[in-house]
Amino acid sequence: MSPGRAQQLVSVDVARQALERAGAPADWNITADQFQIVLERSASRRFSNDPPEKRVVGSYLENLHVVDLALACACSAGNAAAWDYFVAQFRPELYRAARAIAGESAGRDLADSLYAELYGLRESATGQRNSLFDYYHGRSKLTTWLRAVLSQRHVDEIRRGRRTEPLGDESGSDSGEPLPATNQIAQNAFEPERQKYLAILQTILTAVLAGLEPRDRLRLAYYYVEELTLAEIGKLTGEHEATVSRKLDRTRKEIRSRIDAALRERKLSDAQLRLCYEYAQQEWPFDLTVRLRTVRPAEMDSGTAT
C-alpha cells in the first residue's frame, strides 16, 4: 500500500480536527488541505501493508505529536513565522545534541549543516523545494527525530571520511528517508513501562543534580543551559579551558555513576537499567533549565581554580 493508493486514510475533516488540536498560530498559514497531505503521508507509511480499520487509523492519528507535525508542515512550506519559532525553540536543543554526538568543536558545524536540508535548498525537477521536514511523520517528538537525523548524518560523515564500505542497515534507511529513531521498540509510545522508568530516572536525576558541588552545577548550567563554550566558561569561573573540559567530564561520569547506583538500589536489572537510559535518549523528558537555573556565581567559592 503506497501513498498513491486509491483508498484515502485521512479525510480533510479529520485533518482539520487534528490541526485544531495542534493549535498552530494563525500566521503559520497551515490549511486543512495541507495538513491532510501530511497526515496521509504519515498514515500511509505506518500502514504500508493491508488497509487498516478506520478506528485503528483514528487511534494512530490521536497519538501523533500533532503540534510538532504542524510546525514541520509550516516550515516545509517555507513559512517565515514558523521558521522563526523553530529557530528560537529548537536551535539550542540541536546544538546540545550535536555537541553530544560530534564533540565540542564539530558539533556546531554538524547542527548548522542540517538547516539547509530542513529548509530544502535543493530543488526537485518540478522546481519545488524538497524539505527534510517532509520525512518527519509525527510518531516521535520532533526533538527525538532531529537527534536521530543528526546521528545518522554524523555516521555518514565518518563513513565518507574513512572511505569504508557502508555497514549493514536493517532499518531500511537506504531509501533516504530518516527514521524517527533507530530502536523501534524504544519509541513505541504504548509501552507500559516507559513512563514508569522515565519517572524513576527523573526523580533520581533531580536528586543527583541537587547533591553536586555548587561549582560543578555551575559549569553544567553554563554549558548545557546557557550554552557557553569551554573558553567562555573558563573566563567566568577563573579556570583554564582544559580544566573546564576535564571537570565537566568528571561531573558527567559522577552523575552517571550516582544514577546507576540509585537505580540498582531500586532492584532494577541490567536490562531494566538499559531501558531507562534508552527511553531517556529517545524521548528526553527532563528540563535542565529548571534543575540548574538557580545556580549563580555567588554560590561558588572564592578559591582559585585547580
The Cα–Cα gap between 44 and 108 comes to 35
Cα-based distances in Å from 106 to 98, 101, 150: 8, 9, 12
Sketch the domain layout of the chain as residue ranges: 9-182, 194-299
DSSP letters spanning the chain: --TT-SS-SS-HHHHHHHHHHHT--GGG---HHHHHHHHHHHHHHHT-SSPPPHHHHHHHHHTS-HHHHHHHHHHHTT-HHHHHHHHHHHHHHHHHHHHHHH-HHHHHHHHHHHHHHHHT-SB-TTS-B--GGGG--SSS-HHHHHHHHHHHHHHHHHHHHHTPPPPP-TT-GGGS---S-S-TTTT-TT-TTHHHHHHHHHHHHHHHHHTS-HHHHHHHIIIIIS---HHHHHHHHT--HHHHHHHHHHHHHHHHHHHHHHHHHTT--HHHHHHHHHHHHHS----HHHHHTT--GGGS-SPPP-
The predicted pLDDT at position 69 comes to 96
Per-residue pLDDT of the chain (306 residues; tens, 9 = 90+): 444 445 688 999 999 999 999 999 999 999 999 999 999 999 888 887 767 788 888 888 998 999 999 999 999 998 999 999 998 999 888 888 888 888 877 888 888 888 778 877 555 555 566 788 999 999 888 988 888 888 878 777 776 655 444 434 433 333 334 444 333 333 443 355 677 888 888 888 888 988 889 889 888 888 877 778 888 888 888 888 888 888 998 998 999 899 989 988 988 888 788 877 777 766 555 666 556 654 444 444 434 333
pTM: 0.52
